Amino acid sequence: MNLSRDQVLDEMGLSPRWALREQPSVARGAKPTPVPQANDALAALTVSAAERPEHIARLGWEQLRQSIAVCRSCGLCAERKQAVPGVGDENADWLFIGEGPGAEEDERGEPFVGPAGKLLDAMLAAIDLKRGNDVYIANAVKCRPPANRTPEAVEMAACAPYLKRQIELLQPKLIVLLGRAAVHALLGETGSLASLRGKPLAYRDGEREIPVVVTYHPAYLLRTLPDKAKAWEDLCRARALMRLEKAG
């Protein structure tokens, strides 16, 4: 989707309009090659529950997608049309994590393609980002919760090894969590979003601490227009943190 800056800011309900300063482009460091791939992604269906996280932790991108597509580890598989693994640049520095697929995502197999996705695209554009270009988008759960209810803790726990593996493969420089379910899934935090916004948070990936920025879910922002300005603050903070990460 190609939106002008003014369209983007209108979409986000932001006024007055800010101009982001031009940043020097930073050469992207080469990332290490992903670890060797396991032999059989479908084996996740047959390994024991205890062995499943270790099995998933050895999968490469393609096998991970295959494994997610056939996953039956929680009740959400019963009503899905298809699983929605994630989309974007597999070398992205930015990782955005939402809650779970809705009806349109379930239909199309891609995260954030409905109305909330349109706003997410506008939020990305507001900080000069674009889906698929240095950005990867994933969800806490990969299958649609019936009637778009919030995923249950047990469902997020069943999907956690997939999200963990996505982060390991991606090695993002920054993670943006969209809404409470994403915060709960990744950080185990169950406090209010308002209490977590603006706090210095991090996700531990092995030896690395990846900075985490928490903001409102685009679907919530569509219902609560005044909070769009707070989301803008969060995005600016995320952008500043990313600059530090790239500089450091």
Task: Indicate left, alpha or beta for 213 from its phi (over 0: left) and psi (-120 to 50: alpha).
Answer: beta
Q: What gap in Å lies between CA 49 and CA 233, rounded to an integer? A: 41
* Beta bridge mates, 135: 94
CB of 19 to ligand URA, least distance (A): 30
Q: What gap in Å lies between CA 69 and CA 71, rounded to an integer? A: 6
Residue type, 69: A
Shorter beta-carbon distance to ligand URA: residue 112 or 203 = 112
The binding site for ligand URA (CB under 6 A) comprises 98-102, 105, 111-112, 114, 116-117, 139, 219
Which has the closest alpha carbon to 158: 149, 172, 145, 174? 145
Shorter beta-carbon distance to ligand URA: residue 111 or 211 = 111
CB of 199 to ligand URA, least distance (A): 21
Shorter beta-carbon distance to ligand URA: residue 55 or 144 = 144
Which residue lies nearest ligand URA, judged by its C-beta? 98
Shorter beta-carbon distance to ligand URA: residue 183 or 219 = 219
Contacts of 142 (CB under 8 A, 6+ apart): 68, 71, 83, 84, 85, 86, 100, 101, 159, 162
Shorter beta-carbon distance to ligand URA: residue 156 or 169 = 156
CB of 217 to ligand URA, least distance (A): 6
CB of 183 to ligand URA, least distance (A): 12
First-to-last alpha carbon distance for the chain, in angstroms, is 32
* Beta bridge mates, 30: none
Find the helix or strand (DSSP H, E) in which 16 lies.
none
The two most distant CA atoms of the chain are separated, in Å, by 56
Shorter beta-carbon distance to ligand URA: residue 52 or 142 = 142
CB of 58 to ligand URA, least distance (A): 26
CB of 225 to ligand URA, least distance (A): 18
Shorter beta-carbon distance to ligand URA: residue 102 or 211 = 102
Q: What gap in Å lies between CA 162 and CA 168, rounded to an integer? A: 10
CB of 18 to ligand URA, least distance (A): 26
Find the helix or strand (DSSP H, E) in which 166 lies.
helix 153-170
State how far the alpha carbon of 242 is from the alpha carbons of 49, 95, 176, 210, in Å.
37, 11, 11, 11
